[in-house]
Structure 1
Amino acid sequence: MALSAQDGINEAERAGLDKHGYLFGKKLTHSLSPFLHQVIYDHLNLHWSQLRLDSSDLQLFLDLVQHPSCFGASVTMPNKVAIIPYLDEMTDECRDVGACNTVFFKNRNGRRVLCGTNTDVIGIRDSFFYNVKDPALTYHDRPALVIGGGGAARSAIYALRKWMNVKEIYLVNRDASEVEAVIRDCASRGYGQDLLHISTAGQARNAAGPGAIVACVPDFVPQTAEEKLARQITEILLDKEHKGAMLEMCYNPTPFTALGMLAEKKGWDVILGTEALIWQGLEQDTYWTGNTIEGLPAEKVKAAIAANVAQRSQAKL
C-alpha cells in the first residue's frame, strides 16, 4: 500500500520528536544517513530524527515537508535531479551541478521557502582537505582523474575545479556517451574547461600522472570489454611515478573496495568513501541546525561510522 502524507506525519508524531527530517529516495535500507545524523542530534541534545521515505513520489514528499516540524531532507537517487523544478531557491552548488541532495527552509515574509543545495561537492572537497597533509605536493597544479560518468562524477569535477587547484581533469568511463554528456553539462554550467576523455591505453601512457583521483563507480569486477578497458586505463594512470590521493566514493556494502586495494598496493593514499559521506552529512546539518562545522561533533561521527562499518563487516563473515 502506498504511503500517504498523513502516514508520514503520523510516523513522526508517534516517535514523539520535536523535529523530523526525511531521507528521500529508493533502496534506503542500508543507508548510513539516518544513523550519522542521529549521532549529531544526540550530541546536541536535540530530540530530532531523520525518517526514511523510500519513494520517488515527489508530490508526497512536497506534502510531507510542509509539516511545521519538518526541518528538511536528504535527497538521494532517483530524486536528486527530479526535485530541482520544485525548489524556490538553489545555492550555486545545486544550480551548477544540476542536482540537489539537501532540502532546507528559509523564512521570508512569514512564508517557508523551499531551498536546495548540494553538499556532495563539499563531501568530496573536505575528504581531501582533512586527509591530505600536503595538498601542494599531492595534487596542486597537477592533472586529476575522475572515474565514472554519473552524478557523483559531476560533483567530483565541480569540487576539483572550484576548490582543489588542479590542472586538466581526465575522465575515464566504460560508456563514451556518458562522458560526452558530462563534458557537455559541465561546460554549459561554467566549469567544463580542460576536461579530457582518456579512452585508450595509448592516451593513458602518454598522459602526465594525476595527483587526485575520485572513483565514482560501483565495486564490481569488470566484465565487458568496455569495463575491462576502463580498468586497464585506470591502472596505467595509477602506475605513474607520482603517487597522490584517491577518494573511493563507493562505500556500500563496504568502503574497502577492490579498486581501493589496488590503488593502495600501487602506493596511493586511499581515502574511504565514508569520509565523503561524513563531511557532506556534517555540511547538511549546518543548514538544518544552524551550527557551524566547528560546532558539530565531527570526531564523534567519524568514530561512530567506523564502528558501524566494522560491525557490518563482521556480520558478513
Structure 2
Amino acid sequence: MASSTCVQHDQESSVAARRDLLDRHGYLFGQKLAASMSPLLHEVVYRELGLRWEQMRLDSTDMDLFLRLMHHPKFYGASVTMPHKVSIIPHLDQLTEECRDVGACNTIFLRADEHGNRVFCGANTDVIGVRESFVQNVSSPAAVYENRPALVIGSGGAARSAVYALRKFLQATDIYLVNRDAGEVEAVVAECTARGYGDRLVHVATVEQALALRGPGAIVACVPDFVPSTDAERLARRIAEAMLQKAHKGAVLEMCYNPSPYTALGALAEAEGWQVILGTEAMIWQGIEQDKYWTGRAASELPVKEVKTVIAAKLAQVSKL
C-alpha cells in the first residue's frame, strides 16, 4: 500500500510541475500509453495554432486520481483509452449521441451551464475516425461500399464503434461480424440492438456461410496483429480470407497500428486487390474531432496537413525499425 501511495504521489508531483508551465493542459488517460501517437498529434495542432497547451500521458488505473486532476482550473479535456472507456461514463454530466449509443467514451470535454459552472461531457470520436477514414480516402463511395454489406472483424469497443459508423454514416446494409469467440459476438449484437442500431447484424461463423454471402464493400479490422494459434483464431482468419477473395474489391480499414500499421491481414487484403487504409488514419481523424471539441475550431481551421506530415514521418521510423 505504501509503495502504491508513493507512486501516486510521484505521478501527481510530476504532473503538477509540468502543468504550471502551460496555459492549458489535458491528459491521455489509460494504460500502455508509451507507443501512443495521441500526444504527438495534439502537440502538432497546438503548436500550429500558437497555443501553449499539452496533452500529458497519465498511465494509470487510478480513477480517483484522474477525477481530481479533471478539476484543475487549467484542465481542458482528455483522451480516454482502455481500460477506462466505459468506467468513466458514470462520472460525467452529459454524453453526446455517439457516446451514449456506443456505450464508450474516448473524449472528455468541458462546457459551462447557465450559471457558468463546469459541465464534464463525454464524446466518442472513434466513430468519426472510422467514418472519415473511408470518406477521406475512398474516391467513389457509391461504387465501393455504399448500399453494400460491410464486415467487422473483432468484438471489442473498437468493433462497436465500427458497427455504429458503418450503420449511421456509411450506408452499410447487412453488417457481418467475425470473431474467434461466438459469445463475444452475441454480446455485441445484444448491446447494439438494445441501443437501436443492431438490426441486420450477421454472425458469420463458418467458411461455408461466408462463401454464400454477398461480398462486403467496407471491412473494419479491430483485432491485434498476431499469427492465429488456436482453432477458433484460425477459423476466423479463414472466414476473413473468404471475404477478401470475393469478386467485389472494396476498402479495408486496419485499425491496428501498434506496434506497426503494416499488418499481416492488411498484406493479405492488398494482395487480393483491396484498398488498405492504415489505422493511423482513424487515429488522426478521431484526434482532429477531439481538438474541435477542445479548441472550439472547425476542422478546416485545424492543421490537418501538418498532422498528417508528422504522423507519416513517425510511421517511416516505425517501418524502418
- TM-score category (smaller protein): over 0.9
Which residue matches 1:131? 137
Aligned AA for 2:40? F
Deviation at 1:9, TM superposition (A): 4.7
Deviation at 1:94, TM superposition (A): 0.5
Mapped pair 1:171 → 2:177: yes
TM-score by length of 1: 0.97
Which residue matches 1:91? 96
2:310 to 304, 313, 317: 304
Mapped pair 1:51 → 2:56: yes
2:19·2:25 contact (CA, 8 Å) conserved in 1?
Answer: no
Deviation at 1:2, TM superposition (A): 2.6
Which residue matches 1:185? 191
1:21·1:49 contact (CA, 8 Å) conserved in 2?
Answer: yes
Mapped pair 1:106 → 2:80: no
1:246·1:269 contact (CA, 8 Å) conserved in 2?
Answer: yes
Inter-partner Cα distance in structure 1 for 2:18 and 2:205: 50
Mapped pair 1:223 → 2:240: no
Inter-partner Cα distance in structure 1 for 2:195 and 2:300: 31
Which residue matches 1:17? 22
Aligned AA for 1:180? E
1:148·1:216 contact (CA, 8 Å) conserved in 2?
Answer: yes
Cα RMSD of the aligned pairs, angstroms, is: 1.0
TM-score by length of 2: 0.96
Mapped pair 1:81 → 2:86: yes
Which residue matches 1:140? 146
Deviation at 1:7, TM superposition (A): 2.3
**1:171 partner SS:** strand
Which residue matches 1:238? 244
Mapped pair 1:41 → 2:46: yes
1:210·1:244 contact (CA, 8 Å) conserved in 2?
Answer: yes
2:37 to 18, 32, 35: 32
Which residue matches 1:208? 214
1:201·1:233 contact (CA, 8 Å) conserved in 2?
Answer: yes
1:9·1:64 contact (CA, 8 Å) conserved in 2?
Answer: no
Identity, in percent, stands at 61
**1:115 partner SS:** strand
**1:2 partner SS:** helix
Inter-partner Cα distance in structure 1 for 2:166 and 2:254: 15
Q: Classify 1:284/1:229 alpha carbon distance in 2 versus 1 (closer, same or farther; 3 Å).
A: same
Aligned AA for 2:226? F
**1:242 partner SS:** coil
